């Protein structure tokens, strides 16, 4: 399902490249491959070793770079960003990478995630005389790095990062070096790749495939990676804990061809479908998936259940971005424009409809209604993830608890509300079984939006800010 009409949106995607003469051009392709992570703004900052040059704007990657003169943003190093903003936060000045210049040096920052103590830190910085130009969390880090007049290096960056808490993946570019950092729990994804002698950093490995780079390794939780002409160096700014990769990266957010924490997204979704078939079988004629992120799970469910998989819903790929329309009426029309039942397949049939998740339930209700109108005899809804009952504080634009249907209704009530003949979710243990390869410090997922067990607590964020 399109993120804009489901209520789940990833904050953004980051990309960096060091040591390639066509850095800006490769950045374009890398950002394009991660367009699904943010459609409201895109940008690139390039360094030629002397100065930082930026090109960014509101809209899709193609829109932003349509008239770009790449000869004016030439250089061998670059950092880029695709952005999804929360409501009321779509100003141009918030489009990343953010650029900061002093008399001696400059830096560009790209950030994926959420700084939970950003408001407290912002107040502290303003009390000390800082003037912040944006409403973005990212600017807070820049001021923390420079607030004692220090140069931009491993020490100043580590000191600054240790004053923030939340879920974050940062890429920082200066005229001389590029830095990449990941939060101590590793909630957000970030990987390193190689393209000949060049190094690449990206939120998803599909960006490496797009430009012909090879995957090298994950950036580790609590790690600060420094990339320069001397190669790659690693320091640790925080003690590493149990990995808590966001489960929604596998369920919905990442591209199927990406490997997230060395687990292929498509394969994990198939396993979700297989686990779901074991836990919640249905007496039906066929299995269908809601495009696009549910297709892999639907295939897995079909394989495990022995039912045929059919394309019962098609997606129109030439529809405008309805998420920019604020009214509920236009959102509802957007569902009809984007998705359509295949009447000749579903008419008279008992269907298992697989979806990746349910947030408010309104979209599921409309899809079930469309299938009924197309003549489906029975519709058994199966969700390839546990129910979402809690808000996310780690960089996903999730609804408040009051808006989450599973926080306020039982499974049977949800099935009745959306008009399904039966309704079931994948269990928490089933999701973990589908994703986690080995129960080690390297493997583990965050299911806070499903369980309410947050790896980083809000009170911890406040304590860290007060110690700053």
Which one, of 77, 44, 80, 42, lies nearest residue 59 by Cα? 42
In three-state secondary structure terms, 318 is: coil
- Give the H or E element holding residue 406: helix 405-408
Separation between Cα atoms, residue 1 and residue 353, nearest integer Å: 13
Burial 108-145 (b: 16+ CB within 10 A, else e): bbbbbbbbbbbebbbebbeeeebeeebebbbbbbbbbb
DSSP 150: -
User: For residues 221 and 56, what is the distance between their CA atoms, to the nearest angstrom?
Assistant: 29
Please report which helix (H) or strand (E) contains residue 330, including its range. helix 328-338
Return the residue matching tokens 């994990």.
268
Q: Distance between CA 94 and CA 235 in Å, rounded?
A: 29
The DSSP letter of residue 135 is S
Q: Can 12 be counted among the known catalytic residues?
A: yes
User: In sequence order, which residues have a C-beta less than 8 Å from that of residue 82 and are 6 or more positions away?
Assistant: 12, 13, 31, 34, 35, 37, 38, 39, 41, 42, 61
Q: What contacts 356, CB < 8 A, 6 or more positions away?
A: 1, 251, 252, 269, 290, 293, 294, 297, 383, 384, 385
Radius of gyration of the chain (CA): 22
CA proximity to 32, closest of 201, 171, 211: 211
Whole-number Cα distances in Å, 308 to 6, 343, 345? 27, 17, 12
Helix axes 362-373, 411-418, angle to 10 degrees: 50
Q: CB of 60 within 8 A of CB of 30? A: no
Coil vs helix vs strand at 385: coil
Which residues partner with 314 through β-bridges?
A: 340
Residues catalogued as catalytic: 12
């Amino acid at each position: 399902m399109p993120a804009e009409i489901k209520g789940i949106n990833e904050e953004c995607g980051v990309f960096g490249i060091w040591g390639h003469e066509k850095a800006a051009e490769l950045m374009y392709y890398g950002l394009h491959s991660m367009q699904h992570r943010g459609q409201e703004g895109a940008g690139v900052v390039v360094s030629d070793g002397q100065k930082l040059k930026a090109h960014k704007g509101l809209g899709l990657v193609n829109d932003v770079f349509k008239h770009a003169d790449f000869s004016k943003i030439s250089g061998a190093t670059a950092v880029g960003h695709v952005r999804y903003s929360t409501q009321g936060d779509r100003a141009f000045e918030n489009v990343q990478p953010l650029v900061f210049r002093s008399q001696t040096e400059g830096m560009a920052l790209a950030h994926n995630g959420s700084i939970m103590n950003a408001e407290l830190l912002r107040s502290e910085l303003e009390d000390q005389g800082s003037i912040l130009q944006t409403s973005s969390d990212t600017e807070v880090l820049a001021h923390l790095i420079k607030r004692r007049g220090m140069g931009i290096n491993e020490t100043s960056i580590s000191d600054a990062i240790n004053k923030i808490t939340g879920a974050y993946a940062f890429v920082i570019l200066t005229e001389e070096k590029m830095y990449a950092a990941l939060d101590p729990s590793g909630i957000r994804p970030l990987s390193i790749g190689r393209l000949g002698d060049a190094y690449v950093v990206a939120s998803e490995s599909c960006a490496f495939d797009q430009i012909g780079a090879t995957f090298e390794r994950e950036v580790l939780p609590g790690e600060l990676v420094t990339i320069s002409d001397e190669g790659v160096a690693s320091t640790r700014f925080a003690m590493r804990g149990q990995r808590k990769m966001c489960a929604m990266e596998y369920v919905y957010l990442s591209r199927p061809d990406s490997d997230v924490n060395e687990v292929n997204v498509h394969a994990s979704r198939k396993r979700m479908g297989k686990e779901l078939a074991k836990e919640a079988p249905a007496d039906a004629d066929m299995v269908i998936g809601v495009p696009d992120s549910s297709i892999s799970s639907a295939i897995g469910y079909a394989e495990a259940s022995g039912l045929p998989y059919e394309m019962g819903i098609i997606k129109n790929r030439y529809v405008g971005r309805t998420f920019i329309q604020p009214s509920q009426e236009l959102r509802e029309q957007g569902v009809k424009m984007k998705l359509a039942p295949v009447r000749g397949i579903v008419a008279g049939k008992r269907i298992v409809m697989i979806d990746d998740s349910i947030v408010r339930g309104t979209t599921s209700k409309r899809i079930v209604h469309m299938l009924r109108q197309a003549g489906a005899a029975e519709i058994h809804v199966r969700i390839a993830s546990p129910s979402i009952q809690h808000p996310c504080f780690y960089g996903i634009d999730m609804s408040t608890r009051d808006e989450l249907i599973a926080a306020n209704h039982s499974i049977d009530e949800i099935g009745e509300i959306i008009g399904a003949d039966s309704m079931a979710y994948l269990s928490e243990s089933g999701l973990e079984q589908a994703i986690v390869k080995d129960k080690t410090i390297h493997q583990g997922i965050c299911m806070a939006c499903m369980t309410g067990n947050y790896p980083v607590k809000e009170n911890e964020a406040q304590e860290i800010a007060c110690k700053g």
